[in-house]
Amino acid sequence: MGGVVIVSGLPGVGKTTVVDLAINMLREEGIRVGLVNYGTVMLEAALDMGLVSHRDEMRRLKVSQQLQLQREAAKKISELSNKYDILLVDTHLFISTPRGKWPGLSINNLDFLNVAQIVVVEADPNEILKRRMSDTSRYRDVADEESLRMDIEYNRMLAATLSIYTSCPVAYIQNHEGRAEDAAKELYKILSRLVVDIGYK
Ligand code: ATP
Ligand code: AMP
Ligand code: MG
C-alpha cells in the first residue's frame, strides 16, 4: 500500500490550487504519485444516492449520512493508494456541520488509510476571506476574521492529534496572496523528502 499524504487546510485556503501545481513537479521526477479529492469521492456516492446536487451540500446532510459517505470513501481511497508510491489526499481535518465541527479523519476512516505525512496549508484570515468571496465556483460558508482565526487554531489542534495517532510529522505550508507556486514548491520539497524516507528513491 502506498503512503497517504493528507493535505488539509480551511475551506478556501488554496489546497486544491497548491496540490494541482505540486503534483506535476513530482511526476517529472518519475515518482508514482496519485491525487484524490476526498470530497469528490464522497460526492460521487452522494449524487448516486440522490442526496445532494453539489459538493457544498454534503456538509449539511445528517452527520449519520456523512459518516457513511466518509467511510465508503476511505475504502475507495485505500484501494486507490495501492496503485501509487504516494497518494495525495486533498481533504479537511474538520467539517463545519449544523451540529458543529466534525472530524474529517477519525477512527471511522483512519484505519483504512496508511498515512505517511500530514500537511496543513495555511494563509492569513483576511486572505482566506478574500478567496472565499471571490471564488464563485463554490457555495462557501460566511465567516469573519475572528471565527477564521479560531478555525485555524482548531485545525492545528486536530493536526497535532492526528500526528500522535499516526506517528507522522505535520508540515505547515503558507499559501500567501499570489504565491501559490511558492507554496507548491514547498509541498514538493516535503514530499521529495518523504519519498527518500520511505525508500522509493
Ligand atoms: P476547499 O477546501 O473549499 O476545496 P481549497 O482549499 O481547495 O478550498 P482552492 O479552491 O484551491 O481552495 O482556492 C480557493 C480560491 O482561492 C480559488 O479561487 C483559488 O484560485 C484562489 N487561490 C488559491 N491560492 C491562492 C493564492 N496563493 N493567491 C491568490 N488566490 C489563491
Ligand atoms: P472540498 O472540495 O475539499 O471542499 O470538499 C467538499 C466537501 O466534501 C466538504 O465540504 C465536505 O462536505 C466533504 N469532505 C471532504 N473531505 C472530507 C472528509 N475527510 N470527511 C468528511 N467529509 C469530507
Ligand atoms: Mg478544494
Does the beta carbon of 135 lie inside 6 Å of ligand 1? yes
Position 200 scores a pLDDT of: 66
Residue spans of alpha helices (H) in the chain? 15-28, 38-48, 63-81, 125-134, 145-166, 180-198
Q: How far is 132 from 38, CA to CA, in rounded Å?
A: 20
Which ligand minimizes its atom distance to the CA of 137?
A: 1
Q: How far is 1 from 18, CA to CA, in rounded Å?
A: 25
Nearest to 108 by CA among 173, 32, 38: 38
Position 201 scores a pLDDT of: 59
Position 2 scores a pLDDT of: 80
CA 3 to mean position of chain CA atoms? 15
Does the beta carbon of 55 lie inside 6 Å of ligand 2? yes
State the CB neighbour count (10 A cutoff) for residue 174. Answer: 14
**Dihedral sign from CA coordinates of 148, 161, 170, 111:** negative
Residue spans of alpha helices (H) in 49-141? 63-81, 125-134
Model pTM score: 0.98
Q: How far is 116 from 168, CA to CA, in rounded Å?
A: 6
Does the beta carbon of 13 lie inside 6 Å of ligand 1? yes
Which ligand minimizes its atom distance to the CA of 121?
A: 1
Domains located in the chain, CATH noted: 3-195 (3.40.50.300)
Dig out the grid coordinates for 118 from the structure: 500530514
| Residue 199 Cα to ligand 1 middle (Å) | 32
How do the pLDDT tens digits run along the chain, 201 residues long? Answer: 689 999 999 999 999 999 999 998 888 888 899 999 999 999 999 999 999 999 999 999 999 999 999 999 999 999 999 999 999 999 999 999 999 999 999 999 999 999 999 999 999 999 999 999 999 999 999 899 999 999 999 999 999 999 999 999 999 999 999 999 999 999 999 999 999 998 865
Position 199 scores a pLDDT of: 80
